[in-house]
Amino acid sequence: MIDKFVTNKIAELTIEGEKYSLPIIEGTEGEKAIDIRKLRQETGYITLDSGYMNTGSCTSEITYLEGSKGILNYRGYAIEDLAENCSFVEVAYLLLHGHLPTADEYQHFSNLLGRFALIHEDMIHFFDHFPPNTAPMAILSSMVNSLSNFYPEMAENPIEDIDIMATRLISKVRTIAAFTYKKSMGWPLVYPRHDLSYCANFLNMMFDSPVKPYVINDEVVAALNKILILHADHEQNCSTSTVRLVGSARVNLYASISAGISALWGPLHGGANQAVVEMLEDIYASDGDYQTYIDRAKNPDDPFRLVGFGHRVYKSYDPRSIIIKKACDDVLEALNVSDPLLDIAKELEEVALNDEFFIERNLYPNVDFYSGIIYRAIGIPSNMFTVMFALGRLPGWIAHWKEMWDDPNWRIGRPRQIYVGPKHRPFIPKEEREKKDR
């Protein structure tokens, strides 16, 4: 895939007077990269790039992200258009296949989601053996990894039928997530229904009860669709890179996705929206004194940071946050919810958008800033927020895993390092070591 984007331009590298020519690769949106695949072979040198801030691990046709301009496109489609006009199922199909589905393709994909919605009954007993108060992400990661044992045929030719592979996982993770919540509450499980859409089905499994039937609200379903679409992919982030790296060893899809779930679990990655709500709760508990928290964030000697502001990639407004803010307003209005945390969030946003300290540092509200408020309004507890993130990110993970598997330039991931430990030391037998110590 890389070679067709190699230009006739080269970069010259001089090392100890010796010059080397390195090919320049240019992507379809104008991104440029210096191809260093033969650098060590030709020069004996490697590059050092902590956090991979300047290193491209692959070429990809899935997502384009331009942080300086606030652009996010899936397969060439603007995130704004997809969030406004598509369902999550349509976007999942787009990420996997590279084009939006026709009516027949959509129906086939949806039918498969319905067909695979149930999990094996034996898996339900797994929930009973996790310790009390087990983190939902730990349960999700374990359950997804175990799926390879229930569907071993996927290991033989895992990309022969991408729709069966993808819908089985996307549908079952939805059920596992809902069952995880029900089990944590000690409530009876609610099984999926064939007559409900993907998001409506999830909400019904989460909140329906024998003593209080769940009433599906179209505005809530629409908001959940938007949130999942906004989280469906985000280029080579920590969890997606993890899925690719683990998958590069030709590990089965379930194990690769399980690894991605574990990476997403981190508070600096998928746990950020939970951290936002916890911060807003702290501010509310201190009589809503948000100014104190703003002052702390601006104090260089205080390690405190406002959660939900700024982004490692976006250096302008996160395009997803604009969409999700409106969805948040719509949900609260539809449910007639008055949330004091939302009032505090709006005050913080107003300050950040008009304060030179935040403007100069590009600390704009990001997608995590409002998603937690929506989840609270829907009734999803904060310890399930990262599970919701994983549910949305699944299509992207699967698409990247498949793309990596299909890549003719595939190599098993094996980063290099610069060793900075002690130089070679002579071995001393244990008896002599003891004498030396005395």
Residues labelled as active-site residues: 311, 368
Residue showing tokens 């944590």: 184
Distance in angstroms (rounded) separating the CA atoms of residues 65 and 73 = 7
Token representation of residue 345: 């969030």
Pairing assessment for the beta strands 77-78 and 32-34 based on DSSP bridges: unpaired
Q: Which helix or strand (DSSP H or E) is residue 326 part of?
A: helix 319-334
Gap between the Cα atoms of 322 and 312, Å rounded: 18
Instruction: Classify 277 as helix, strand or coil.
Output: helix
Return d(Cα 92, Cα 86) in angstroms, integer.
Answer: 10
Amino acid at 41: Q
CA 290 vs CA 305, 321, 328, 361, 403: distances in Å: 13, 21, 21, 20, 45
Contact 220, 334 (CB under 8 A): yes
Cα gap 70→333, rounded to integer Å: 28
How many residues in the chain? 438
The residue type at 337: V
- 329 CB-near residues (< 8 Å, 6+ apart): none
Q: How far apart are CA 346 and CA 325, in angstroms?
A: 10
Rg (CA), the chain: 24
